[in-house]
Structure 1
Amino acid sequence: MTDKPKTYDDPVTRAGDNLFEALGFSAERADQLTQESDREILQLIAMKKQVMSEIADWMKEGDIKQITAAKILQVSRPRVSDVVNQKTEKFTLDALISMVGCIGKKVHLVIE
């Protein structure tokens, strides 16, 4: 016997819609939450780019090829390419910090 797929009566939040408003927040509060979320996302992307730049600089300074870097960083060669090309959406910050640890660098977190 096969299960039928579930159907939902809830509307789908479309691209461009305010997710927070769809969750029931007032329009004003939804806008505030969206702005806060956008700032946090931009901050996370900036941190990822900084760590990626450290790895790319290490490769340049040491004239290290991607295949060699992949072995040292314990990732595949295409993942190294993604780091060098700063494809931030493909990595979590903790994965990037682990890679930096593999090259002997330390990361210090400062909360202000």
Structure 2
Amino acid sequence: MDAQAFDSVWDALEDTAAEAANMRARSALMIALRTRIESWGESQAEAARRLGVTQPRLNDLLRGRVDKFSLDALVNLAGPAGFSVRIEIDDAA
């Protein structure tokens, strides 16, 4: 069996380059959001109110359940968390 090398775990797991790119963006946003939320030192209920989501929804985010969030949903949470989101477009290698 030949060893394969991938740029990210998402490239190994997803079927297409587009799906892998979407998952990379979603996971990066989730990590940034989780770090910001944890820095607030608030309860999950308080943080959920601050972001305009339910506590169970916030719990899904904090537990890294990336499959439960679209890229749009995460971008919408970025504003209330105090983030500005920019997309960088590069030529494919």
Query: What is the TM-score normalised by the length of structure 2?
Result: 0.74
Equivalent residue, structure 2, for 1:5: none
Gaps in structure 1 of 5+ consecutive residues: 1-35
Query: d(CA) in 1 for partners of 2:40 and 2:47?
Result: 10
Give the aligned length: 77
How far 1:37 sits from its partner (Å)?
4.6
- Which deviates the most, 37-46 or 57-66? 37-46
Pairwise CA RMSD: 1.6
The answer to whether structure 1 residue 109 and structure 2 residue 87 are counterparts is yes
Equivalent residue, structure 2, for 1:24: none
Which structure would you say has the larger RCO, counting Cα contacts within 8 Å and 6 or more residues apart? 2
Moved over 3 A (4+): none
Gaps in structure 2 of 5+ consecutive residues: 1-13
Query: d(CA) in 2 for partners of 1:87 and 1:46?
Result: 13
Query: d(CA) in 1 for partners of 2:36 and 2:42?
Result: 8
Query: d(CA) in 1 for partners of 2:77 and 2:20?
Result: 21
Which amino acid letter does the alignment assign opposite residue 40 of structure 2? G
Output one character per residue of 1:1-54: Cα deviation in whole Å (capped at 9) or x when no partner.
xxxxxxxxxxxxxxxxxxxxxxxxxxxxxxxxxxx9522212211111111111
Higher Cα radius of gyration: 1
Query: What is the TM-score normalised by the length of structure 1?
Result: 0.63
